[in-house]
């Protein structure tokens, strides 16, 4: 990356084509190390002491200090978001999700992936993209974030066909399951195998999910998400042009 961290044309077309973009070693090692220190301190636990590990998927009540060192608030991350949304995306909040080692279990690739943005009250609307990074390197079968490359296109096609279902009512159809989206994906599931501090940015319509960890190191995934600032204006719209509300 250049000092300004602007995406190249090639990176932008890769994001549009694949629905995700990986930027290696995007977060400074000192920041990643301070995240690790703060997390273990929060857990009252230690990487070297397995007996002290909790088993929670969601790490509750954790926040980074200083706040500007939060994943979704880092300057290089903001530069990407500014470039993608031209100032129209906001957010950056998220959480740490852990996959604790279960070396005795069998590993399987998940059968389906979901899309984000649906809560207990349906479609909050305006969700544009997420980003994920890891606190430690993740090996194959080590609890990776799983994504379906190019599925942002097939999800978009689904909603072009059934626009009324954007509110979340797709869960009322017969044989409902998240597979209704990932089964349509032009490509099968892929593990996000990455070094600590590399980042994957992923489009809101990209199918994804978590996976089990049969390695020895916990998988700590940091997630951040961004929405359209004026989502009230567009939350139920499925534009023909997938990039209508983007600056790319
Ligand atoms: O834990 C993971 O890798 C996936 C998490 C996820 O899909 C989400 O938080 O929306
Ligand atoms: Fe998700």
Measured over the CA atoms of residue 211, residue 217, residue 220 and residue 221, the dihedral's sign is: negative
In this predicted model, what pLDDT tens digit does every residue of 180-206 receive, in sequence order? 999 999 999 999 999 999 999 999 999
Under a CB-based contact definition with an 8 Å cutoff, are residues 184 and 150 in contact?
A: no
What is the C-alpha separation between 53 and 100, in angstroms, rounded? 8
What average pLDDT score do residues 138-167 get? 98
pLDDT for 4: 61
Q: How many CB atoms lie within 10 A of CB 246?
A: 20
Of the bound ligands, which one is closest to the alpha carbon of residue 200?
Answer: 1
If DSSP codes are grouped into helix, strand and coil, which group holds residue 89?
Answer: strand
With a cut of 80, say whether residue 176 has pLDDT above it: yes
Q: Which two tokens stand for residue 129?
A: 């993209």
In this predicted model, what pLDDT tens digit does every residue of 153-173 receive, in sequence order? 999 999 999 999 999 999 999
Locate the ligand 1 atom nearest the alpha carbon of residue 132 and give its number.
3
**Homologous superfamily of the 9-233 domain (CATH):** q2cbj1_9rhob like domain (2.60.120.620)
Under a CB-based contact definition with an 8 Å cutoff, are residues 129 and 242 in contact?
A: no
In this predicted model, what pLDDT tens digit does every residue of 65-76 receive, in sequence order? 999 999 999 999
Pocket lined around ligand 1, Cβ cut-off 6 Å: 97, 116, 145, 208-210, 221, 223
How does DSSP classify residue 50?
G
- ω into 183 cis (within 30 of 0): no
Nearest residue CA, atom 4 of ligand 1?
210
With a cut of 70, say whether residue 2 has pLDDT above it: no
> What residues contact residue 201 under an 8 Å CB cut-off, 6+ apart?
15, 20, 21, 23, 80, 84, 129, 130, 131
What is the C-alpha separation between 196 and 39, in angstroms, rounded? 14
Of 150, 147, 234, 246, nearest to 191 by C-alpha is: 147
Locate the ligand 1 atom nearest the alpha carbon of residue 146 and give its number.
3
Residue 44 burial (10 A CB sphere; 0-12, 13-18, 19+): exposed
Of the bound ligands, which one is closest to the alpha carbon of residue 134?
Answer: 1
Under a CB-based contact definition with an 8 Å cutoff, are residues 205 and 156 in contact?
A: yes
Residue 95 CA to ligand 1 centre (angstroms): 10
Question: Band of the pLDDT at 1, cuts 50, 70, 90?
Answer: very low
Indicate the domain borders of the chain.
9-233
Measured over the CA atoms of residue 209, residue 74, residue 92 and residue 23, the dihedral's sign is: negative
User: Of the residues 223, 224, 226, which should be mutated to test ligand 1's pocket, given the most ligand atoms within 8 Å of the CB?
Assistant: 223
Of 137, 135, 139, nearest to 220 by C-alpha is: 135
In this predicted model, what pLDDT tens digit does every residue of 28-81 receive, in sequence order? 999 999 999 999 999 999 999 999 999 999 999 999 999 999 999 999 999 999
With a cut of 50, say whether residue 177 has pLDDT above it: yes
Nearest residue CA, atom 2 of ligand 1?
210
């Amino acid at each position: 990356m250049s000092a300004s961290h602007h995406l190249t044309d090639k990176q932008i077309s890769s994001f549009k084509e694949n629905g995700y973009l990986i930027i290696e070693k995007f977060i400074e090692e000192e920041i990643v190390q301070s995240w690790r220190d703060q997390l273990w301190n929060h857990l009252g636990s230690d990487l070297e002491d397995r007996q002290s590990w909790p088993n929670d998927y969601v790490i509750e009540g954790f926040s980074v200090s200083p706040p500007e060192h939060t994943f979704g608030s880092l300057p290089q991350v903001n530069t990407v978001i500014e470039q993608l949304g031209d100032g129209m995306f906001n957010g950056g909040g998220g959480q740490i999700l852990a996959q604790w080692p279960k070396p005795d279990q069998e590993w399987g690739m998940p059968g389906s992936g979901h899309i984000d943005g649906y809560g207990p009250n349906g479609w909050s609307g305006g969700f544009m993209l997420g980003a994920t990074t890891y606190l430690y390197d993740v090996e194959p079968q080590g609890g990776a974030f799983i994504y379906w490359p190019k599925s942002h296109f097939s999800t978009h096609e689904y909603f072009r066909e059934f626009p009324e279902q954007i509110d979340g009512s797709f869960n009322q159809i017969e044989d409902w399951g998240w597979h209704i989206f990932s089964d349509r994906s032009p490509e099968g599931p892929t593990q996000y195998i990455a070094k600590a501090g590399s980042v994957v940015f992923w489009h809101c319509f990209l199918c994804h999910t978590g996976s089990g960890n049969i390695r020895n190191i916990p998988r700590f995934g940091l997630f951040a998400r961004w929405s359209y600032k004026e989502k009230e204006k567009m939350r139920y719209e499925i534009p023909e042009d997938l990039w209508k509300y983007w600056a790319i």
